[in-house]
Amino acid sequence: MGENWTETTSAAYRRLAQVAVPARAEQMAALLTLIPFAPDQPFRVVELASGEGRLASALLGAFPQATLLALDGSESMRAATAQRLAPFGERASVGSFDMAATGWLPLLDGADVVLSSLCVHHLSGPQKQFLFAAIAARLSDRGALLIADLVEPARGEARELFASTWDRTVELQSQALVGSDALARLFQQENWNHFRFPDPVDKPSPLFAQLQWLSAAGFAVVDCFWMQAGHAIYGGYKATPNDSRHGLPYTTALKAAEAALQD
Ligand SMILES: C[S@@+](CC[C@H](N)C(=O)[O-])C[C@H]1O[C@@H](n2cnc3c(N)ncnc32)[C@H](O)[C@@H]1O
C-alpha cells in the first residue's frame, strides 16, 4: 500500500464513512447506473480500492451475471470485503495491490469495467495520467472506467464552496443518522475535510485536467456525471455513444446501494 494510508486510517474511515462521504448511497447508485451493461449481461469488473466491499456487493447484487475482482492495499479492508462478498461465491474475488505500483496492472487485462471510489486522489497528477492510460490500454473495447473521488478546486472561491458544502452535508447526514451532531464532530476532530486541512496523503487533481487525461488516454466518451461538495463522479467509455443500450435503472441502483450500506 502507499506509504501514507495506514490501518489506523482504514479504521478511522470505517467509523466516519457513513457521514463523511457526501450522499454515499447516491454516489454508489450513480456508479452502478453508469455501467454500460444490462443487468442480465455477463461482464467482468475490477474495483480499485474496494474498502469494505459495499459498492462491490451492491454491484454483484444488481448485476447477477457480473464477476468482480476487488483490490485493496489494506489487510483489514480486504478482510471486510471478503466477508461481505462471501455470499457471491466464485463471482467475487479479493486481492492485494498498491495503486501507486505497476505490477498489478495485468489484473486489468480484458476487464469490462474498472471502478474506483475515493482512492485515485492518493496518486499524483502524473501517476493518475499513467493509470488512466494503462487502464484504457487494458480494458475491453466495450469497457468503461468510472471514478468517484475528491477533485481539486480550480480557484479559491471553489475551495470555499467545496469545504463549506462538505461540512454542511456532514452535519445534515449526522443529524439524519444519529439525531445529533456527534458524527459531524468526529469528522471535525479528525480534520477530515481536505479542502480545509490539506494532507500530503491526499493529492486530488482538478476535474478538468482529469477529463483531459482520460481523453488523451484514448477514451472515446469522457464526462463528469455528478458532483457535490468537491466530490465528483467522472470517467471514460472506450466505445462511442450507443443510445439504444439500457443499463440499470437508477431507482433499482439506489435500492441496491442502500441495501449494501445497511449492515
Ligand atoms: C477512502 S477509502 C475508500 C474505500 C471505498 N472505495 C469506499 O468508497 O468506501 C480509501 C481506500 O483506498 C485504499 N488505499 C489507499 N491507498 C492505497 C494504495 N496506494 N493502494 C491500494 N489501496 C489503497 C484504502 O485501504 C481504503 O480502502
pLDDT digits (tens, 9 = 90+) for 120-168: 999 999 999 999 999 999 999 999 999 999 999 999 999 999 999 999 9
With respect to residue 1, please indicate whether it lies within any of the assigned structural domains.
Answer: no
Confidence of residue 263 (pLDDT cuts 50, 70, 90): confident
Residue to mutate (ligand 1; options 10, 72, 107; most atoms within 8 A of CB): 72
With respect to residue 46, please indicate whether it lies within any of the assigned structural domains.
Answer: yes
Number of domains in the chain: 1
Query: What pLDDT is attached to residue 50?
Result: 98
With 70 as the cut, is the pLDDT of residue 242 above it?
no
Where does ligand 1 bind, in terms of residues with CB under 6 Å?
1-2, 5, 10, 13, 17, 49-51, 72-74, 77, 97-100, 117-119, 122
SS (H, E, C) the chain: CCCCCCHHHHHHHHHHHHHHCCCHHHHHHHHHHHCCCCCCCCCEEEEECCCCCHHHHHHHHHCCCCEEEEEECCHHHHHHHHHHHHHHHHHEEEEECCCCCCCCHHHHCCCCEEEEECCHHHCCHHHHHHHHHHHHHHCCCCCEEEEEEECECCCHHHHHHHHHHHHHHHHHHHHHHHCCCHHHHHHHHCCCCCCCCCCCCCCCCEHHHHHHHHHHHCCCEEEEEEEECCEEEEEEECCCCCCCCCCCCHHHHHHHHHHHCCC
Report pTM. Answer: 0.96
Residue type present at position 68: L
Residue type present at position 46: V
Residue carrying C-alpha cell 468517484? 148
Confidence of residue 245 (pLDDT cuts 50, 70, 90): low
Distance 242 CA to ligand 1 centre (A): 32
**Residue range 187-231, pLDDT digits in tens:** 999 999 999 999 988 999 999 999 999 999 999 999 999 999 999
**Residue range 82-98, pLDDT digits in tens:** 999 999 999 999 999 99
R_g (Cα) of the chain, nearest Å: 17
In this structure, the strands spanning 92-96 and 67-72 are parallel
Residue to mutate (ligand 1; options 16, 32, 119, 150; most atoms within 8 A of CB): 119
With respect to residue 196, please indicate whether it lies within any of the assigned structural domains.
Answer: no
Structural domain boundaries, residue 242: 7-153+203-260
Three cell numbers written together for 30: 450513480
Distance 174 CA to ligand 1 centre (A): 23
With respect to residue 166, please indicate whether it lies within any of the assigned structural domains.
Answer: no
With respect to residue 197, please indicate whether it lies within any of the assigned structural domains.
Answer: no
Nearest-CA residue for ligand 1 atom 1 is 118
**Residue range 2-59, pLDDT digits in tens:** 457 899 889 888 889 999 999 999 999 999 999 999 999 999 999 999 999 999 999 9
With respect to residue 177, please indicate whether it lies within any of the assigned structural domains.
Answer: no
With respect to residue 179, please indicate whether it lies within any of the assigned structural domains.
Answer: no
Select from 153, 150, 114 the least CA-distant residue to 133: 114
Q: Which atom of ligand 1 is the closest one to the Cα of 123? A: 19
- Domain with residue 25: its CATH number is 3.40.50.150
With respect to residue 229, please indicate whether it lies within any of the assigned structural domains.
Answer: yes
